[in-house]
A and B are shown apart, each in its own frame.
Chain A
Amino acid sequence: MYQWDFAPVLANFDLLALGLLNTFAVTGTALAFGVPLGLALALARLTGKPLLAWPAGLLIEVFRTTPPLVQLFWFFFALPILIRVEMTPFMAAAATFSIQSAAFFAEVFRGGIVSIERGQWEAGRAIGMTHSQAMRRIILPQAVKRMIPAFMERAIELMKTTTLVAVVSYADLLYQANELAQKTFRPLEVLTVAALLYFVCIFAVSLASRALERRLAVSGETTVR
């Protein structure tokens, strides 16, 4: 029978905590760049001008249909040679996940904007608003409210995807856990604790998002998936 021993894990818990912080850092950076970029992509795709809509559509489809790990390898190993810059694992991860999540957020934004009734556009035009005024003052505020559940779901997916940065040796929670497992020869305990840490953080966000979704449903908002 295997003797479980969590003492080495608890003694080095600061390493795991540091890894968790780094996981949050990557997720936060990707969100900070991914959301505005996603909005820009969605607006470009919806303009109806082929010169804007086509490149935006291509970017969205490419980043949605290639595996994130392949993208990360491309940004980490290939891009630095092409543009001649030193790429740190953090930069590669931030670039990959910002663009990748932007592609997914773009579809969330598009779904939200498309779901707003045509009458809202017509009302804006009737009182003399331009397209961008109607978008900014009437459509987006309503669309964003509907998008919140889909948006939270994407953010959770993003946090789970950031574990891939461990593969290019960025010190996120998974990487730190792997290091600690090799140092302490306790892979079972260390990896179990790491999995539980991920579970607690992500499950908390899931529960919050479900509560929010229920409140939005009560206030009569349909949600966009």
Chain B
Amino acid sequence: MEYQWNFAPIFAHSDALLVGALGTLRIFVVCLLLGLSLGLLVGLARYSTRRLLTWPAAAFVEFFRNTPVLVQIIWFFFALPILVPFEISPMTAAVLGISLNSAAFSAEIFRGGIQSIEPGQWEAGRAIGMSYAQIMRRIILPQAIRRMLPALTNRGIEIFKMSTLASVVAYVELLHQGRLIASLNFNPIETYTVIAVAFFLFLYPLVRATYVLERRLGRSD
């Protein structure tokens, strides 16, 4: 007997999916902003020559790069509330896990990008009397960020995919809503197919854009 596909119940719940999609977008934007800006700070700390800065930054990067992000989210949700005096919402736990994880990964991208700039650029800045911070801000970072763009877009795509993990601590996002719809209507095939297609349709243009960006930067450098 052939399986009868029926997508009608999913369209009947399209409002629930919309709420989920908004939840996904919200956590994506928050984690992207927090993850990248924290990553820049950690990357700068790792690049500096002061031991007091490089050591903690290196420990942070190694720890968060070498543990699974789901373990981090679960730790923030179930273990951290015991240590701190306030409640941790699913959103907070997921944002902490995903942002710190992406900060660790993007810190390495920022460090690599800064290191890839030729020493001559530093010397030129110093020759016209700029301070370290001025050179970094006005000369090094603008050039480095251009080179890092493909790697950073990849990070963004990873963050988007990671946002589904927030459903494990019952944060309302697309996959969480899909799970509800599937258990209400007993139609996991259609629901999970729709969700997978939705993610693919959203992310595939970004992936193509990254390829194009890589090729164009490769040519101009």
Q: Could you list which residues of chain A lie within 8 angstroms of chain B, going by C-beta atoms?
A: 2, 61-62, 64-71, 73-74, 77-78, 81-82, 156, 159-161, 163-164, 166-167, 174, 178, 181, 187-188, 191-192, 194-195, 198-199, 202-203, 206
Contacts and interface: CB of A to CB of B under 8 A. Distances in A.
Interface of B: 3, 62-63, 65-72, 74-75, 78-79, 82-83, 157, 160-165, 167-168, 175, 178-179, 182, 188-189, 192-193, 195-196, 199-200, 203-204, 207
18 contacts: A2-B83, A62-B196, A65-B161, A67-B160, A67-B161, A67-B163, A70-B195, A70-B199, A71-B196, A73-B179, A74-B196, A81-B189, A160-B67, A163-B71, A174-B74, A195-B72, A195-B75, A206-B65
A65 B203 contact: yes
A174 B79 contact: no
Nearest to B76: A191
A161 B71 CA distance: 10
A66 B203 contact: yes
Contact of B68 (A78, A161, A203): A161
A62 B65 CA distance: 25
Nearest to A181: B78
B68 A174 contact: yes
A143 B78 CA distance: 45
Given A77-B182, A187-B82, A188-B83, A70 B196 contact: yes
B105 to A, nearest CB: 11
Contacts, number: 112
Contacts of B203: 65-66
B71 A65 contact: no
B68 A65 contact: no
B74 A65 contact: no
Nearest to A225: B151
A78 B196 CA distance: 12
A70 B79 contact: no
Contact of A73 (B71, B75, B163, B175): B175
A78 B189 contact: yes
Nearest to B204: A65
Contacts of A181: 78
A61 B206 CA distance: 12
A69 B207 contact: no
Given A62-B196, A163-B68, A206-B62, 11 more contacts: A2-B83, A65-B200, A70-B195, A70-B199, A71-B196, A78-B188, A81-B189, A160-B69, A174-B74, A199-B63, A206-B65
Nearest to A156: B66
B210 to A, nearest CB: 11
What 4 pairs between A and B have smallest CB-CB spacing?
Answer: A77-B188, A160-B68, A67-B161, A163-B68
B192 A70 contact: yes
Contacts of B196: 62, 66, 70-71, 74
B66 A199 contact: yes
A181 B81 CA distance: 14
Nearest to A202: B66
A78 B162 CA distance: 21
B66 A203 contact: yes
